[in-house]
Amino acid sequence: MEKQKAMMEKRKAKQAEKENGNSRFKISLEELLPFSMEKRNKYSFELLEEIEHNEIPVYVLKSKAESPGEKYWEGQYLIHKDTYDLLRIEISPSENPKYVKKFDIKMDFAVLPDGYFVVKQVKTWINARMFLKRIRMISTQEYSDYEVLDLP
């Protein structure tokens, strides 16, 4: 009886997690970026080059996880040369999850005139095997008409 009660509690907790948006498939921007103080020592960084991106001078920075794993993302970051604003990331997991052959993300960002950091576009490429089916998908989301809300 106690075993079944524990299983029910576990199921309820999982359901509550999904309802609250804490699904294991939800990824925040903070999880994708290696720049926080806690994460920096888990990556090696290399300045690849200085180029122009949309007529803006940028640094191209490359990150590589010191110990590959599903939770570490590595790739390239385009950083505005003068303001150090992040303009683009092109990343993938340092080690693909089981059943995933390819999982790449490209995100473009902008800084609005009032200094708000926003996502302009997200493009994902996925090639995975789920059950008996292979899934190949490219998804593009475009964001515009930003509205800054006064939140408490």
Give the start-end residues of each E strand in 20-116.
Answer: 43-53, 56-65, 73-80, 86-93, 100-111
User: What are 63's strand-pairing partners?
Assistant: 45, 75
**At residue 18, does pLDDT exceed 60?**
no
Kindly state whether residue 151 falls inside one of the protein's structural domains. no
What's at 117, amino acid-wise? F
In a domain, 149, yes or no: no
Helix (H) or strand (E) holding 9: helix 2-19
At residue 19, the pLDDT reads 57
Domain count, the chain: 1
Residue whose C-alpha is closest to residue 102's, from 127, 124, 122: 127
Task: Look at residue 77 in the predicted model and tell me its pLDDT.
Answer: 97
Per-residue model confidence as pLDDT tens digits over 26-53: 678 888 899 999 999 999 999 999 999 9
Q: What's the mean per-residue pLDDT of the chain?
A: 87
Q: Specify the pairing of strand 86-93 against strand 100-111.
A: antiparallel
pTM score: 0.76
Residue 83 scores a pLDDT above 80? yes
Task: Look at residue 2 and tell me if it is in a domain.
Answer: no
Percent of the chain with pLDDT strictly greater than 70: 90
pLDDT for residue 146: 84
Contact 80, 65 (CB under 8 A): no
Rounded CA separation 68/46 (Å): 17
Q: State pLDDT tens for residues 84-109.
A: 999 999 999 999 888 899 999 999 99
Cα of 91 vs its chain's centroid, Å: 8
* C-beta of residue 106 within 8 angstroms of C-beta of residue 123: yes
Residue 82 maps to a domain? yes
Q: Which domain holds residue 69?
A: 27-142
- Name residue 128's amino acid: A
**What pLDDT shows up at residue 3?**
77
